[in-house]
């Protein structure tokens, strides 16, 4: 490890909250992207189960497995020196028993994550958060729109739209905090509700579609660089900073053209024999 690099920890998250400094988080699923994101001083990298849509071509996160998450977490962790790597526990990997949850979370930590994220805050899940944190596994909660519950929610709906819903979400968030979660992702929550929740928690909130008062922000890397090829239209909360899809398509179109027309490879892309070796070769086949 380079001595100049001070890795971000869960204590850094807490300090950021206390100092009112925003936390930056992006998803990543592979070595090189994680390395680039880390080199830009991003505070945290989430190996999200959004990998199901961005990399594996699924419609949602439901089909992502623990084995998938281990592979992608390992690749990301290898590319990161500074950012706090968090890995999503996928669908049903933390709902069966405390024992299974601990084994699955442990696999993600052994793959290189420094924390795991799970969705919801039922009594069962709160108990698991408590058990994980007492086992030395850092936990991030996830409230508001929780993608693993897409079939029970019934669609991509904003959560916490009323006073009662907001108070209930705050109650759940506080219970996550009391049970050891060190941060909570709030997804698709009105700005004012997310502000109220953030102001009433000691741990930092990370918003995605939750306005500008959260303690930090997270977005899916494919969305900000314009690489997403899935069928879901770009959500309102996404800001696209680049158009990688066009960059890839232009490069590939040019490559195809040059191969078809024998314009590639060029001299600098080839290995050549010396003239003497070449002459010997042709003389030998005469």
CB of 48 vs ligand KIV, minimal distance in Å: 2
The residue of the chain with the least Cβ separation from ligand KIV equals 48
Long-range CB contacts for residues 51-54, cutoff 8 Å, separation at least 24: 51/27, 53/228, 53/230, 53/232, 54/27, 54/29, 54/220, 54/221, 54/222, 54/227, 54/228, 54/230
Q: Which is nearer to ligand KIV, 185 or 203 (CB)?
A: 185
CB of 231 vs ligand KIV, minimal distance in Å: 17
Write out the residues near ligand KIV by the rule CB under 6 A.
Answer: 27, 46, 48-50, 88, 185, 187, 208, 218, 220
Q: How far is CA 152 from CA 87, 148, 155, 161, in A?
A: 23, 9, 8, 18
Q: Which is nearer to ligand KIV, 23 or 220 (CB)?
A: 220
Q: Which is nearer to ligand KIV, 166 or 205 (CB)?
A: 205
CB of 146 vs ligand KIV, minimal distance in Å: 9
CB of 217 vs ligand KIV, minimal distance in Å: 10
Q: Which of 164, 187, 199, 276 is catalytic?
A: 187
Residues near 167 by Cβ (< 8 Å), separated by ≥ 6? Answer: none
Q: Which is nearer to ligand KIV, 150 or 167 (CB)?
A: 150
Gap between the Cα atoms of 80 and 271, Å rounded: 35
Verify whether residue 187 is a known catalytic residue.
yes
Tally helices (H) and strands (E) across the chain: 12, 8
Q: Which residues are catalytic?
A: 187
């Amino acid at each position: 490890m380079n001595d100049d690099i001070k890795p971000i920890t869960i204590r850094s998250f807490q300090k950021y909250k206390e100092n009112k400094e925003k936390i930056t988080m992006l998803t990543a699923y592979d070595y090189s992207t994680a390395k680039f994101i880390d080199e830009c001083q991003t505070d945290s990298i989430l190996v999200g189960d959004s990998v199901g849509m961005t990399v594996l071509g699924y419609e949602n996160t439901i089909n992502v497995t623990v084995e998938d998450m281990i592979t992608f977490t390992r690749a990301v962790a290898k590319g990161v020196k500074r950012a706090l790597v968090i890995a999503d526990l996928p669908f049903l990997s933390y709902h069966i028993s405390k024992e299974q949850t601990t084994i699955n979370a442990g696999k993600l930590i052994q793959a290189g994550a420094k924390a795991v994220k799970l969705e919801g805050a039922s009594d069962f899940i709160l108990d698991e958060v408590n058990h994980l944190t007492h086992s030395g596994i850092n936990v991030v909660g996830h409230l508001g729109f929780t993608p693993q519950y897409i079939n029970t929610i019934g669609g991509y709906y904003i959560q916490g739209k009323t006073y009662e819903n907001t108070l209930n979400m705050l109650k759940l968030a506080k219970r996550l905090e009391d049970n050891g979660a060190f941060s909570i992702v709030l997804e698709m929550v009105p700005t004012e509700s997310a502000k109220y929740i953030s102001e009433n928690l000691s741990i930092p909130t990370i918003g995605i579609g939750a306005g500008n008062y959260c303690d930090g922000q997270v977005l899916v890397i494919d969305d900000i660089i314009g690489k997403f090829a899935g069928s879901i239209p770009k959500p309102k909360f996404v800001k696209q900073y680049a158009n990688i899809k066009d960059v890839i398509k232009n490069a590939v179109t040019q490559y195809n053209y040059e191969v078809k027309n024998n314009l590639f490879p060029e001299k600098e892309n080839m290995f050549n024999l010396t003239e003497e070796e070449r002459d010997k070769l042709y003389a030998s086949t005469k």
